[in-house]
Structure formats: structure tokens, C-alpha cells
Amino acid sequence: MSPRTLLTRLLPALALAAGAAVVALPAAAADHRPVVRFQDYPGHGNLLIRVARSKGWCEAAGITCELKPIPQAPLGIQALIGGSIDVAQTPIEVLASAVLRGARLHAVVGSAVTNIFQIDAAAGLALAHEAQGFPAVMQDFKGKKIGVTARGSASESFFAWLMQQADQQTDDVTYVAVGAPNTAFAALRQGQVDAIVSFEPAGTMCEMSRACRVVYRGATADQPALLRSMYGAGVALVMRAEQIAAQPNVAQAVVKISRQAADFVNHRANEAEVLKISAQYFPYDMPQGDAIARHALKLGIDSGTYKTMVRRSAVQSTLTYMQQTRQLPGTPTVEDLVWDGAPQE
């Protein structure tokens, strides 16, 4: 399969998922249980809630779950504040920025608790220090074009921070906005950039197509040390503070079904069923699509991604990271960001 064929098959699938309507509810769910609308993404997306909904655990917990595709975390926060969804799925960094701007939001449960970012380099890009890994490899990006999701985005801040931690000048590279994994992969394959800072399934696409390779993966990296201390507070399910206060039973139900789903997803014997469930929401309709989906899921499980903790020490480390990368104009506290009922582990 050529990289062009892979990309051609992937783009319609991502576009379809991003623009799809809310997945239809079964007729049996038409009762008086509170309807809870969750943000979803392309790929494996909001996997724990997909599994909980498909297994009937939402109804058993006293709620009706809907999934609404919104492909970017800031857009999810906007939808949450505006009331068109009830639960956003967002990195702690995005939550912290929203809270500093006056939004009253709290993380209620973990969803994907590792760092999602990775650096993917073009297959033909020579990196003299690649075998040495971080921090040595960062010097090889000097003078290169680096694709990020958007200028000023968390992905750009992440790369700049890695350069800083490796004693390199953060402005020794040229940043280019390339969007989400599908368009980022296209830009990399077409030679518009030398490397991208993206997230799955970008790395899996690189490995399957051999058009590029993963140079650094935040979810499994040992360095920098601060990054490891951020484990346990990656991406969380976030609700409005007033909704939590008015319906604490809903927040408790979200925690309960997330824990049930995490136990199910992380049990190796359930892999085939988890993949089948996820494909109902986002089919990888492309050559080697099943292999891409399976590999992306395996990466998530192996790196401890699908956990439900909102580790307070990790949230504090994330705030320290944001201060170092100058993403925060102020300093929120952990208590400003995390519901006191959110699980610690």
C-alpha cells in the first residue's frame, strides 16, 4: 500500500467522523434518565464512553449517553460552556486555560492519562543523533520545518519545551500549521514539513505506510523528568461546575461507567470486542484499517493510557509545565481544575 493510497482512504473517514451527527440512541433508552452528551473524536476517540454506552452501563448507572463528534479540544470546551454538550474530553492544559478565562469547569474522571504528543519525522530526513534519543536528537531539528496542529497551539508549545529542555534555541525551527493527524500526515508525506508534532493515529499511519517514523513518543518517553511526573493527568472528562453541583449523581455515574469501561478495555481478552465497539463509531475504512486500529489500541493499552485517575500531583506538574512554556497568564490551583470526587488512582 502506498502512502498516497493510505491518505486517500483515511481522509474521507476522518471527515465523515468529524461531521457525523450524534450516534442514534436505541429505542429502549427513551425514558426519563438524564441525557448526557459527550464529546467524541475521530480514531478511537472517547473510547471508554463508547464502550460504556455499547455495553449498556450508562443505563445501568441511571443515565443515557450520547456521543457528539467534535474534533478539537478547544471546540469541545466551547460546546460545553455553550451547553450543546454536557461532558468535554480535553487535556488538562486546555481546561486550565479555560478556567483562567473565567470558565467554571472541573475534571471529573481521567480518559486518556498519558501525554498524547509525538514527533514524527519524514522517512528521508536524516537525524544524526536519532539513535541517542532525547535530548540529543533535538539538535538535529535545527533549521527544519516542524508541523504543528496550529500556531500557538499546545503541540507547538510542547516541541518548543523539548527544545528548551535539550538546551536548544526554541526559535531555531520554523513552525507550520498542519492541523490534525490526517492533514499533518499529508503535509509530511508531501514534503511541506520535515517533521510533525501530532498524535495517534499519525504514528501508526507512519509505521504502516513507511512514509515517516516516530522519533519521540510522549506517552512512553523517560525524559524530561517533568513529563513523566505529568502521567495521570493527560486528558480528562470535564463538566460544568454548576451541573456537577445540581446533578452530582450524573458526575458520579460518569465516573462509574468510565471505571467499568477502563477495566474492560485493559483486559487483553476483550481486544476484539473493544475494536468492534470502537469501529461502530469510527470505522477505519482503508487498506490495513483493521491493523491500524488494532495497533493504535495496543499502543494505548501498553502505555497505560486508558485509566481513570486524575492524579493531583500530575495536575500540579502540568501547571508547572504550562508555566515553563508560558501558556498561562496566571496560576490556577489544582482545586480550581479538579472535582473533589474525581478518582485519584
What is the full DSSP assignment across 174-232? EEEE--SHHHHHHHHHTTS-SEEEE-TTHHHHHHHH-SEEEEEETTT---SHHHHHTTT
Of 167, 195, 217, the position where a domain reaches its end is 217
Distance in angstroms (rounded) separating the CA atoms of residues 217 and 27: 42
Confidence of residue 28 (pLDDT cuts 50, 70, 90): very low
To the nearest whole percent, how much of the chain has pLDDT over 90?
66
Average pLDDT over residues 209-213: 92
Q: What is the tens place of the pLDDT at every residue in 164-196? A: 999 999 889 999 999 878 789 999 999 999 999
Q: The domain that contains 82 carries what CATH number?
A: 3.40.190.10
Of 174, 192, 217, the position where a domain reaches its end is 217
pLDDT at 24: 38
Q: Tell me: do 171 and 75 sit in the same domain.
A: no
Q: What pTM does this model have?
A: 0.82
pLDDT at 22: 38
Of 164, 196, 217, the position where a domain reaches its end is 217
Q: What is the tens place of the pLDDT at every residue in 229-281? A: 999 998 999 999 999 999 999 999 999 999 999 999 999 999 999 999 998 98
Find the domain containing 324 and state its range.
Answer: 3-115+230-337
Distance in angstroms (rounded) separating the CA atoms of residues 29 and 189: 45
Q: Which of 84-88, 226-230, 238-242 has the lowest mean pLDDT?
A: 226-230
Angle at which helices 92-100 and 312-324 cross, to 10°: 70
Provide the residue type at 139 as one letter: Q
Quote the DSSP letter at residue 140: G
Mean pLDDT of the chain: 87
Q: With CA atoms as reference, report the closest residue to 186 among 147, 150, 142, 141.
A: 147
pLDDT at 180: 79
